[in-house]
Amino acid sequence: MPKIPALPFCEDIPSHFILGETKAEIQLSHAEENRNAALSLASQARFNINIFTQDMDDAIYNNNEFEEHVFNLATRHPSAKIRILVQDSSSAVKKGHRLIRITQKLTSSIFIHNPPEIHRSDKSAFLTVDGVGLLYRVNAGKYNYEASVNFMSPQRARKLDEFFDKAWGHSTRDQKVRRLAV
């Protein structure tokens, strides 16, 4: 996992930040701040969303609003892709995580894979949007929500996307989330 240095602290909230334009780096420390940043990024996505996560980050991604933004991206833009690399989806499957349910419905736009073994112990987690916006947690422990968000950081987003693409190239489809015939 590449180490992405954080930029200076900014106290603004991301609700009025514009993907691809606002260059400020925001430091976050709570789950709700992470959730709001992810919502703001996803609501502005036009092409793709990549998520690297240990366990689907229930506090950030398992909500109606995020599901709606992912659904809108997947259905409005035929070439849009939402890719999720999750180390262990067991808990998310048991809880009926919204991203898993939507993945089972929109099988041509949303994909959930497991990273190769070499990346299964990575402690970081991130979300990138359209190659310019990112939400990055260096140490994504269960209750650690220290993160940074930036709506216009193409170099940092590119580094994360390059890591993601390499891991995705060696990943396997997550069998725990597959749709079972009824």
Q: What is the CATH number of the domain that holds 28?
A: 3.30.870.10
Residue 14: the pLDDT is 57
pLDDT cut 90: percent of the chain above it: 81
* Predicted confidence band of residue 129 (pLDDT cuts 50, 70, 90): very high
14 in a structural domain: no
Does this model's pTM top 0.75? My answer is: yes
Beta-carbon contacts of 8 under 8 Å, excluding residues fewer than 6 positions away, are 25
Residue 179: the pLDDT is 63
Tell me the Cα Rg of the chain. Answer: 15
Answer for the pair 138, 34: CB distance below 8 angstroms, yes or no: no
132 in a structural domain: yes
Closest CA to 103 of 56, 157, 34, 36: 56
38 in a structural domain: yes
What is the average pLDDT across 162-176?
96
* Predicted confidence band of residue 17 (pLDDT cuts 50, 70, 90): very high
59 in a structural domain: yes
60 in a structural domain: yes
What angle do the packed helices 64-76 and 31-43 form, to 10 degrees?
A: 20
Tell me which H or E stretch contains 31: helix 31-43
What is the average pLDDT across 26-48?
95
* Predicted confidence band of residue 181 (pLDDT cuts 50, 70, 90): very low
pLDDT in tens, 91-119: 999 999 999 999 989 989 999 999 999 99
- The structural domain count of the chain equals 1
Tell me which H or E stretch contains 48: strand 48-53
117 in a structural domain: yes
6 in a structural domain: no
Structural domain harbouring 95: 23-176
pLDDT in tens, 21-34: 999 999 999 999 99
7 in a structural domain: no
